[in-house]
Structure 1
Amino acid sequence: MYVADQPGKSRRSRFVRVHHLDGGGTRPLGGRLIDGQPGVLRRAATACHCLLIEHSTGLALVDTGYGEQAVTRPEVWVGRQIIRRTRPVLDQVIARHVEDLGFAREDVRDIIVTHLDLDHAGGLADFPEATVHVYQAELDAMTGAYGRRERFRYRPVQIEHGPKWMAYGESDSRDDHLFGLRAVRELRGLPTEILMVPLAGHTRGHVGVAVDTGNGWLLHAGDAYSFHGQMERRPRMPLGASVFQRSLDTLRSSRVENQRRLRELVHDHRDAVTVFSSHCATEFERLRGTDGHER
């Protein structure tokens, strides 16, 4: 979608196109108790919703899924306990999806991570030359600044290649950048159509990523919520998914507040912004193919 340059807007892109890609998801037991679809005696289906953004000077990813090494050495890359509990789908490799779209892995110059959990950052090693944009509090949590309780969720092996981090903090964000939400507009080296939206709760440094397509905004909310019913005026969520979400909350009060703000955004600005989460298969199916490509 071509958009006109605007005076005073630095790094305004002339082209933004977004591809919705699935980096794997999980197939845990529980059926309806996890994904809300009929049947309990089956495995539930979740997605790992990632984005590939084409802009005027290159490609950017939002999250990376489990990564290619999850296929070749799953117990090292993901962990035996996670595999047993969640049955992740490991053969949906984002780097291969990028190649299927006709690009080289090296064309991906930037990656914005909503957070550094293993199913969101596992593919960083597949793009070793890319700049990785992350919130500083998330980096701190991964390196243990807040203690073992928060560090347990990260897989150090996934970053042994030494990512090129570009970190942002509170001083980089401003209010009202996205319909009243606080956001980091100046992501270094990226066009101003791409914003980082702090949404702490699931992790301390969790963020959403907003993209102005020229035909409305997309807001990838990461794991700020995980089931489409949570965005309804009277929020609802399957019992199993609710228990799992609570078990992974780092800052529960922040997550609850940010979900409330996201619901307001959905209902007050539904014609201007499309909000979706990382793991809701219903949302992914609704959006896949809207860019002309299905993965």
Structure 2
Amino acid sequence: MRIHHLNCGTLHPGGAAMVCHVLLLEADARLVLVDAGFGSADVRDPRRLGPMRHVLGAALREEETASAHVRALGHDPAAVTDIVLTHADLDHAGGIGDFPSARVHLTAMEHVAVLRRRGLRESLRYRPAQWAHRPEVVGHPPGDGRWHGVAGVLELAEVAPGLLLVPLPGHTAGHAGVAVPVEDGWLLHAGDAAHSAASLRPGDTRPDVHLRQGLLAHDTAALRRTQRALSALAADGGVRILTAHDRDAWERAPGDGSA
């Protein structure tokens, strides 16, 4: 499997710039995205993102959209068959509209939250305009598998060989990670379950980041449990963790299409 690391949205929420780290998987004859960043419609009309665009400091650029990256790599965006979302926040799901024929995969619990949009936090994070093209959505219930001690894991073999949807609840109602098999083990896209892989080391999370994560969390206690589980995974030499907004990790990612 060939893996491309894309930045599909630069953010300036305060302090150093952040990215929206998206994976493009070339799996046999299929193209699969893990997360989708911001989309071209978000660039054309930022108002559809609501007030959170100001909180995130989103620098909306056409060349950073997933569809632009796919074209730059020599592919037709229409060849993207599936998009697997860690969660449906506006900076992760905006790009789905640029791939109207692609199936959109997420946990069933997250899909319900998108449809429900209960309370202020969910109304701000889930933007109906990003789903207005009515994609084919596959809301996956928890699986019966275990992976490195994590329960409820589901294999998405119909999307790509060996691809796993790994429950990582807390940041949103149905947040998950996506585990990709690579030559030396696994690559886990942990979405917004942590600020960075480095922050999973005891004492390495800055107080302001800790506070911001708590304010944005759907369930703070669940998020802390998820982060403890990720800390254990980070100590496993067979699992490499990346998170959605860690610019340093994105810049260190291989640029040749390898994992």
Same fold (TM over 0.5): yes
| Alpha-carbon displacement from aligned partner over 1:64-119 (angstroms, at most 9, x marks no partner) | 0011112111112x22x233333212111111001100100011000000000000
What SS does the aligned partner of 1:123 have? helix
Q: TM-score, normalised by structure 2?
A: 0.93
State the one-letter code of the partner of 2:3.
V
| Alpha-carbon displacement from aligned partner over 1:187-230 (angstroms, at most 9, x marks no partner) | 26223311000111000100000000233210000000113332
Partner of 2:249: 283
| Alpha-carbon displacement from aligned partner over 1:93-150 (angstroms, at most 9, x marks no partner) | 1110011001000110000000000000000100000011110111111111755543
Higher strand share: 2
**Stretches (4+) displaced over 6 A:** none
Q: TM-score, normalised by structure 1?
A: 0.82
Over 3 Å counting, the alpha-carbon distance change for 1:235 and 1:163 in structure 2 is: farther
In 2, the alpha carbon distance for the partners of 1:149 and 1:244 equals 13
Q: 1:27 Cα shift?
A: 1.2
Aligned residue pairs: how many?
257
Question: Which one of 193, 202, 214 corresponds to residue 171 of structure 2?
Answer: 202
Identity within the alignment, %? 37
In 1, the alpha carbon distance for the partners of 2:53 and 2:137 equals 28
Partner of 1:250: 218
> Structure 2: which 5+ runs fail to align?
none
In 1, the alpha carbon distance for the partners of 2:155 and 2:207 equals 39
What is the alpha-carbon root mean square deviation over aligned residues?
1.9
In 1, the alpha carbon distance for the partners of 2:102 and 2:151 equals 26
In 2, the alpha carbon distance for the partners of 1:71 and 1:147 equals 26
- Check the 8 A contact 2:197/2:241 in 1, yes or no: no
In 2, the alpha carbon distance for the partners of 1:183 and 1:191 equals 19
Answer yes or no: is 1:89 the counterpart of 2:59: yes
In 2, the alpha carbon distance for the partners of 1:236 and 1:226 equals 10
In 2, the alpha carbon distance for the partners of 1:124 and 1:152 equals 18
Over 3 Å counting, the alpha-carbon distance change for 1:98 and 1:183 in structure 2 is: farther
Within 5 Å, which residues of 2 pair with 1:177-216?
A: 178-187=147-156, 189-216=158-185
Over 3 Å counting, the alpha-carbon distance change for 1:59 and 1:277 in structure 2 is: same
State the one-letter code of the partner of 2:155.
E
In 2, the alpha carbon distance for the partners of 1:130 and 1:142 equals 18
Within 5 Å, which residues of 2 pair with 1:231-246?
A: 231-232=200-201, 234-246=202-214
Bigger Cα displacement from structure 2, 122-131 vs 85-94: 85-94
Partner of 1:17: 2
- Check the 8 A contact 2:27/2:161 in 1, yes or no: no
Within 5 Å, which residues of 2 pair with 1:110-189?
A: 110-144=82-116, 146-147=118-119, 149-170=121-142, 173-176=143-146, 178-187=147-156, 189=158
Over 3 Å counting, the alpha-carbon distance change for 1:26 and 1:96 in structure 2 is: same
Question: Which one of 52, 67, 85 corresponds to residue 39 of structure 2?
Answer: 67
